[in-house]
Amino acid sequence: MTGPGRGSVPRGYARFRMPVGSSLLVHRRSAVVATVLLLFAATLAIVEISTGTYDITPSGAFRALLGEGSDVDRFIVVDQRLPRAAAALLVGAALGASGAIFQSVSRNPLGSPDIIGFTTGAATGGLAVILLLGASTATTILVGTLVGGFATAAVVIALAVRRGATGDRLVLSGIAVAAMLAATNDYLVSRADIQDAEVAQAWQYGSLNAISWAPLLPLAVVLVFAMPAALVASRSLRILELGDDTAAAVGLRLVRARTVALALGVCLAAIAVATTGPIGFLALAAPQLARRVARSPGVTVLASAAMGAAILVGADLLAQRLLSPFQIPVGLVTAAVGGAYLVWMLALAPAHRSR
Amino acid sequence: MSDETRRRSHTGRVVACLVAGCALVVLLALLSLAIGSKNLSIGEVWSGLLAGDGSRESIIVWQLRMPRTVLAMLAGTALAVSGVLMQALTRNPLAEPGLLGVNAGAAFAVVIAISVFGAARSGDYLWAAFAGAGLASVFVYLISVRRTRASDHARLVLAGVALTATLGACTRIITLFDATAFDSYRFWVIGSVADRGIDVVMSVLPFIAAGLIVALLLGPSLNALALGDDQAVALGVPVAALRILVIATITLLCGATTAAAGPIAFVGLVVPHVLRLVVGVDQRAILGLSALVGPSLLLAADVIGRVVSQPSELEVGVVTAFIGAPVLIALLLRRRPA
């Protein structure tokens, strides 16, 4: 027996044999879409690296990448533009994947880390460290962000679980908790002196303006481990989407699968927020857009990550160039565009597509 | 119990609530005049009120605390009444101008007026606030018309939150762009009744008073509207005109409040819900009482904000968010899943 014939592979899927004797079903259109999106994101990143206020030709930028050209050229390209583009790609991918996991587990397109209060809580933690402790080194901000984010997520999930967690309850308790935290954030900003307040304000909205190589290292390390794990977990996510009973019937350990997936989602969102501050609505919109473009039956982690990367690089280009030389924090661009998309999705789209 | 006795006992309860509400407002207003960084006794407040000369007490009472007390009362009335109106208009118990983006619309328009058109005094940007609040109210109403199934109540809130987020992001882009606008904006955006001069209060007073009178007159028609459009038409209510009037009133109340005090959320959600528990669903009673309970809530929140973090103060918008968000959670979680 050479395994089931081609006929047993569902329509639209391709089958890959994995080294350990298992096999992987891949939704063909999702894979193609993910590849195209990644290429698109890479192109945008190249545009971002080779153009800008500082005048340098694309070939000059390329030479600077190889370590040639003047010191200024190398400083601009290697130390300024390259980390920024890399951060946009990585943070976008992390948020896209995280959103896909959250939406899949909560079975609700709104169950993204923004809506359930994770990002607002992370911002509260970071702001408290910046403004109250007055210690704004990268490490302390990172710790504050993580503590704030995890504590908020825990409170929201506990509130929702106690009353029989369904997706909507998770989302609605998240909104209420986030409203309280947003008031706290505004209060903290108003209490600081104006310099601190402007730093905190810019950080609070998520910005790539002052990114350097240093914060990229922890981000890259986490992604190297978490991304493949998320792709592996996406298999059990697809089964979870069938409903608890069906998933249990086909032999999935529900609690373990859900816990692993949520832990991965929280990790990805946390490291992204810690690197750039909260980027509004990206984790919400990327999986939905990816799903629509790929016409996949459920949320797909890989396509969502690719979509997240492409959106964030594009939004960052917009944030840099729209009102140049003034640089808009990219989180505000995504919040404005993503919020409008959410309004459309909830209110104006035909009913059958809003879920 | 016959219908007649039941009606009489209900009327009695409403009257009792009205009297209690009046007493509460007066008591909290006196507290608001008395409590602060320099606490006054009730006797000192009284002599300061009556004297009106240059004495220490009269300066504290009349110049420092009277404007914010009056503004808190006006804002509380306007927000609570517009919450009632909005819930009646959208037939959605979770509707609230702060949550649904009406205040954010007013705030966005005000910031545009300040930074693009150079409006400096609150009298100038009052009109911008009206325009922003009006557009946002119309938008919210259009969303609620498209989705009238009971299970979609939460969806309207989500759409409103998204609208608030979008407008907030645009507002922040502008304020980050403009450092001086940011410095005043960061205090205004929290929602505060402190440090507003008596001229600000006087400039919004006529609009809020007009909105309040119209709202109170609308009570009977809103009762008919609650029965459904067809029933309301059968009872002789011009439904389309009523809706336009309600939206205009919400615009007046929210626009004026936001221009003077900044966006304050949750008052319009909490007050009508508490009142419905006490006096039932009669819109006339709820409207009248919310004009008393709203100012009480805002005065109490303002006094609490002055007490809890002395020597500094907590803005009233922060306090209402901390009072209102748990109420929202409780309301949401109590409902059966759709």
Q: Of B312, B264, B315, B279, give the one whose Cα is nearest residue B74.
A: B264
Q: Do B162 and A342 touch (CB under 8 A)?
A: yes
Pick from A173, A183, A335: CB nearest B317 = A183
Q: Of A111, A252, A222, give the one whose Cα is nearest residue A172.
A: A111
Q: Which residue has the higher pLDDT, A3 or B80?
A: B80
| pLDDT score recorded for residue B263 | 82
Counting other chains too, the contacts that B55-61 makes at CB distance below 8 Å and 24 or more residues apart are: B60/B36, B61/B33
Exposed, middle or buried, A351 (CB in 10 Å: 0-12/13-18/19+)? exposed
- Average pLDDT (A330-349) is 80
Q: Do B337 and A342 touch (CB under 8 A)?
A: no
- Average pLDDT (A284-310) is 85
Q: Which residue has the higher pLDDT, B189 or B275?
A: B275
Q: Of B85, B6, B38, give the one whose Cα is nearest residue B244.
A: B85
Task: Write out pLDDT tens, residues B17-56.
Answer: 889 889 999 999 888 888 877 777 777 777 777 776 677 7
For chain B, say whether A182 makes contact (Cβ under 8 Å): yes
Please check the confidence at residue B127 and state whether its pLDDT lies above 80: yes
Set of chain A residues whose Cβ sits within 8 Å of the Cβ of B267: none
Counting other chains too, the contacts that A34-38 makes at CB distance below 8 Å and 24 or more residues apart are: A34/A290, A34/A294, A34/A300, A34/A302, A34/A303, A34/A305, A34/A306, A35/A306, A37/A290, A37/A303, A37/A306, A37/A307, A37/A309, A37/A310, A38/A306, A38/A309, A38/A310
Q: Do A347 and B322 touch (CB under 8 A)?
A: no
Q: Do B179 and A198 touch (CB under 8 A)?
A: yes
Q: Do B315 and A190 touch (CB under 8 A)?
A: yes
Please check the confidence at residue A87 and state whether its pLDDT lies above 50: yes
Pick from A281, A326, A346: CB nearest B177 = A326
Q: What DSSP letter does each residue of A85-101 carry, written as one string? A: HHHHHHHHHHHHHHHHH
Token pair in block for residue A293: 């473009």
Token pair in block for residue A6: 């081609």
Token pair in block for residue A313: 């690089």
- Top mean pLDDT of B48-52, B140-144, B154-158, B256-260 is at B256-260
Set of chain A residues whose Cβ sits within 8 Å of the Cβ of B151: none
Q: Which residue has the higher pLDDT, B122 or A179?
A: A179
By percentage, how much of chain A surpasses pLDDT 90? 7
- Average pLDDT (A339-346) is 80
- What ipTM does this complex have? 0.72
Rounded to whole angstroms, how far apart are CA atoms B28 and B69?
Answer: 9
pLDDT band at A339 (very low <50, low <70, confident <90, very high): confident
Q: Which residue has the higher pLDDT, A87 or A198?
A: A87
Q: Which residue of A has its CA nearest to B263?
A: A183
Smallest CA–CA distance, residue A180 to chain B, in Å, is 6
Within 255-284 of A, beta carbons closer than 8 Å to B belong to 280-281
Smallest CA–CA distance, residue B213 to chain A, in Å, is 31
Token pair in block for residue A172: 């609605």
Q: Which residue of B has its CA nearest to A346?
A: B159
Query: What are the CA-CA distances from residue B122 to residues B131, B198, B206 (Å)?
Result: 14, 12, 14
Task: Write out pLDDT tens, residues A245-260.
Answer: 888 888 777 778 878 8
Please check the confidence at residue A152 and state whether its pLDDT lies above 60: yes
Task: Write out pLDDT tens, residues B182-226.
Answer: 666 766 777 777 777 788 888 889 999 999 999 999 988 888 888
Q: Do A336 and B265 touch (CB under 8 A)?
A: no
Please check the confidence at residue B268 and state whether its pLDDT lies above 90: no
Set of chain B residues whose Cβ sits within 8 Å of the Cβ of A197: 186
| pLDDT score recorded for residue B142 | 81
Least confident of A297-311, B8-22, B130-144, B321-335: B321-335
- Average pLDDT (A164-187) is 75
- Average pLDDT (B148-169) is 73
Query: What are the CA-CA distances from residue B287 to residues B11, B88, B290 (Å)?
Result: 15, 11, 5
Please check the confidence at residue A91 and state whether its pLDDT lies above 90: yes
Set of chain A residues whose Cβ sits within 8 Å of the Cβ of B312: 191
Pick from A169, A336, A354: CB nearest B333 = A169
CATH of domain B69-334: 1.10.3470.10
| pLDDT score recorded for residue A258 | 79
Set of chain B residues whose Cβ sits within 8 Å of the Cβ of A108: none
For chain B, say whether A326 makes contact (Cβ under 8 Å): yes
Smallest CA–CA distance, residue B318 to chain A, in Å, is 5
For chain B, say whether A175 makes contact (Cβ under 8 Å): yes
Q: Do B182 and A159 touch (CB under 8 A)?
A: no
- The superfamily in CATH containing domain A26-348 is ABC transporter involved in vitamin B12 uptake, BtuC (1.10.3470.10)
Smallest CA–CA distance, residue A340 to chain B, in Å, is 6
Set of chain A residues whose Cβ sits within 8 Å of the Cβ of B154: 168, 171-172
- Average pLDDT (A229-245) is 82
Rounded to whole angstroms, how far apart are CA atoms B337 and A302?
Answer: 32
Q: Do B265 and A159 touch (CB under 8 A)?
A: no
Smallest CA–CA distance, residue A303 to chain B, in Å, is 24
By percentage, how much of chain A surpasses pLDDT 70? 87
Set of chain B residues whose Cβ sits within 8 Å of the Cβ of A159: 329, 333
Smallest CA–CA distance, residue A10 to chain B, in Å, is 33
Domain boundaries, chain B: 69-334
User: Is the torsion defined by CA of B8, B10, B13, B18 positive or negative?
Assistant: negative
Mean of the per-residue pLDDT values of chain A: 79
Set of chain B residues whose Cβ sits within 8 Å of the Cβ of A174: none
Q: Which residue of A has its CA nearest to B141?
A: A347
Only one residue has tokens 């959103």, namely: A99
| pLDDT score recorded for residue B324 | 84
Q: What region does B234 belong to: left with phi over 0, alpha with psi -120 to 50, or beta?
A: alpha
Q: Quick count: other Cβ atoms within 10 Å of Cβ B31? A: 18
Pick from B143, B159, B173: CB nearest A328 = B173
Q: Of A145, A153, A91, give the one whose Cα is nearest residue A116.
A: A153
For chain B, say whether A96 makes contact (Cβ under 8 Å): no
The pTM (predicted TM-score) of the whole model is 0.77
| pLDDT score recorded for residue B150 | 46
Q: Of B147, B270, B251, give the one whose Cα is nearest residue A176.
A: B270
Rounded to 5 degrees, what are φ and ψ at A17?
-85, 135
Please check the confidence at residue B338 and state whether its pLDDT lies above 50: no
**Who contacts B336 (Cβ-Cβ below 8 Å, separation ≥6)?**
none
Q: Which residue of A has its CA nearest to B139?
A: A347
For chain B, say whether A176 makes contact (Cβ under 8 Å): yes
For chain B, say whether A336 makes contact (Cβ under 8 Å): yes
Q: Which residue of A has its CA nearest to B157?
A: A172
Please check the confidence at residue B116 and state whether its pLDDT lies above 70: yes
**Who contacts B55 (Cβ-Cβ below 8 Å, separation ≥6)?**
B47, B48
Q: Quick count: other Cβ atoms within 10 Å of Cβ A332? A: 26
Set of chain B residues whose Cβ sits within 8 Å of the Cβ of A163: 333
Q: Do B322 and A187 touch (CB under 8 A)?
A: no
DSSP 8-class letter at B337: P
